[in-house]
Amino acid sequence: MTETSTAPPGLGRLNKDHPRYKWVALSNTTLGMTMATINASIVLISLPAIFRGIGLDPLNPANVSYLLWMLLGFLLVTAVLVVTFGRLGDLYGRVRIYNLGFLVFALSSIALSLVPWQGEAGALWLIGFRAVQAVGAAMLMANSTAILTDAFPVHQRGTALGINQVAAIAGSFLGLVVGGVLSEWHWRAVFWVSVPFGVVGAIWAYVSLHEVGARHKGKLDIPGNVAFALGLGLVLCAVTYGMQPYGGHTMGWTNPWVVASIVAGVVLLGVFALIESRADDPMFRLSLFRIRAFTLGNLAGLLASMSRGGLQFILIIWLQGIWLPRRGYSYESTPLWASIFLLPLTIGFLTAGPLSGFLSDRYGARRFAVGGALVSALSFLGLMVLPVDFAYPAFALLTFLNGVGSGMFSSPNATVVMNSVPAAERGVASGMRMTFFNSGSALSIGVFFSLMVVGLAATLPATLSTGLVAQGVPGGVADGLAGLPPVGILFAAFLGINPIAALLGPTGVLSSLPAANVAALTGNDFFPSLISDPFHQGLVLVFAIAALMMVVAAVASWYAGKRPTDELSRPHSGERLGEEPDTYALVEGEPANDDTGPLAHVLGFPTAPRDAS
């Protein structure tokens, strides 16, 4: 059973039936999504400045866990909680949960900007309040798409969801740029930037948004929520600790705790599925996965999120650890310049994303989702064969094409998924979609980091030993350093740090070498040149798998976009899928016959006359 909220308009609000209300909802949710995803990636490129700011040595093995939790904690919390908050939105009001998310986000941003301590205490403060910030972000992510789906008619929904999805993914790209620029000024500015947007957005959402969608009568499925949160949380925690060395192994995948966490997490997710199949009012309806567009669309979105997250991680290592230092950039300035040299990626996405959302309303979503996935796959293949010491125009072109492909794919993918479910399930469907989105981002770092370590472990020890001996380092010392886990070397490259001086300093070797050799060992070129060939081994493996992921995403998108007539009549919890006129509307061969609001005029497209019906 559903009910429709008819809350009266508050002071300064547009009435929920006002023609411009939907654009108010779009602008506010776009701000929320952009802010949330900027903060998911802003730390990715500004970690060197943050670690220097709180006085924490990133090369100390004891501090590796702080680094990983700073990176992955935000993604883990959002991945675990978005389904719960989507369900709460269905039960108690999507706007209510969304507004609370803005408030939590704003308050935690203030706390992050005021971190009072240094060292480990400062790191724990940042990790803790990043987790609180992620709770607010999960509330925003889980309900923004559902709010838009409620506010917009079907013939404009692709444009609206496209803009919102572009904002979400563009935020992850913009976070790299914003983080690079602000960390060059002051490390606290990385957290300051969220405060004014969070406060203004929270006030604006409270005074402008209405509950206009269907609200589901029921209760929160507490056993299902607990089983899901613990299961997914254990799996993602295991991925985090699996990236750290264990015993004599380069990584921790043989660590009994990691293995036990993965097994326990998978078992709990199985228990969750069992609970949901029997619950009177489940956290989400497993029957949604009988909808082909929902299942295949989310599969494609997960693969795209994994490949995109892996790309960002690898490109930062490539630029900060190798390419920029070899061109004379100081290690301290590499985050800023890496963000600048990655601008073609962001520009490509921002160019293709809104355009794809607009055109998919008129010509169907499938061709754009498939085409975007294939363009991304081709760009990964191009990056795979690009030399490590590349010419920048070729790099810029390939990253621009990757951004274009990602933009072409994202909007239609979101539209297919959200249009495939009944109105009363939009909140939880939005939460599920964001779970796949955030889980993909978290898993991408674990998967691609592990693949890169495997590639480095095969060739780095011999290369490092040979290079050190060539500069006069005694063979015993060189072999000892070459036997260290490659995880530390990879983190040094990721953070834009030259570790040679730190590694050789305790041995006393540098004081006994000629000045020319010391200058070579600690200069900008030795370490990047040393790891270039081993890095390329891992690079080829990573980009080949990313390309394969996008090909699979293209296939899934092709079959998700077809209109399955048998599913339109399948009963679903007392409703018929397709009972509403908007269900499955945006599919191949069903262009909308309506204007698309202000976006059409901004982009300069001709508008179609409004259908009288």
pLDDT of residue 563 exceeding 60: no
Kindly report whether the global pTM for this prediction surpasses the value 0.85.
Answer: no
pLDDT of residue 592 exceeding 70: no
Tell me the two tokens of residue 36.
Answer: 């949330």
Helix (H) or strand (E) holding 182: helix 154-185
Tell me the two tokens of residue 52.
Answer: 């220097």
Q: How far apart are CA 167 and CA 162, in angstroms?
A: 8
pLDDT, tens digit (0-9, with 9 covering 90-100), for 507-536: 778 888 888 888 888 888 888 888 888 888
Percent of the chain residues past pLDDT 70, beyond the cut: 84
pLDDT at 562: 56
Q: Which band of pLDDT confidence, cut at 50, 70 and 90, is reported for residue 223? A: confident
pLDDT, tens digit (0-9, with 9 covering 90-100), for 118-155: 888 999 999 999 999 999 988 988 888 778 877 888 77
Helix (H) or strand (E) holding 216: strand 214-216
Mean pLDDT score of the chain, rounded to an integer?
Answer: 78
pLDDT, tens digit (0-9, with 9 covering 90-100), for 228-262: 888 888 887 887 778 777 776 777 788 898 899 99
pLDDT, tens digit (0-9, with 9 covering 90-100), for 84-102: 887 788 778 888 899 899 8
pLDDT of residue 172 exceeding 80: no
> Nearest to residue 567, comparing CAs of 169, 154, 289?
289
Residues linked to residue 571 through DSSP beta bridges, in sequence order: 576
pLDDT of residue 74 exceeding 90: no
pLDDT, tens digit (0-9, with 9 covering 90-100), for 451-470: 777 777 777 888 888 888 88
pLDDT at 378: 96
Greater confidence, 352 or 570? 352
pLDDT of residue 504 exceeding 60: yes
Q: Which of 179-183, 367-371, 598-602 has the lowest mean pLDDT?
A: 598-602
Q: Which of 210-219, 268-277, 394-403 has the lowest mean pLDDT?
A: 210-219
Helix (H) or strand (E) holding 418: helix 392-418
pLDDT of residue 215 exceeding 80: no
Q: How far apart are CA 282 and CA 273, in angstroms?
A: 10
pLDDT of residue 611 exceeding 70: no
Q: How far apart are CA 192 and CA 198, in angstroms?
A: 10
Q: How far apart are CA 124 and CA 117, in angstroms?
A: 9
pLDDT of residue 589 exceeding 60: no
Q: Where are the beta strands (DSSP E) in 508-610?
A: 571-572, 575-576
pLDDT of residue 599 exceeding 60: no
pLDDT of residue 402 exceeding 60: yes
- Backbone phi and psi for residue 249, each to the nearest 5 degrees, phi listed first: -100, 150
pLDDT at 585: 36
pLDDT of residue 11 exceeding 50: no
Query: Measured in Å, how far apart are the chain's first and last C-alpha atoms?
Result: 28
**Highest-pLDDT range among 38-47, 293-302, 353-362, 489-498:** 293-302
pLDDT at 574: 37
Q: Which of 24-33, 117-126, 600-609 has the lowest mean pLDDT?
A: 600-609
Helix (H) or strand (E) holding 4: strand 2-4
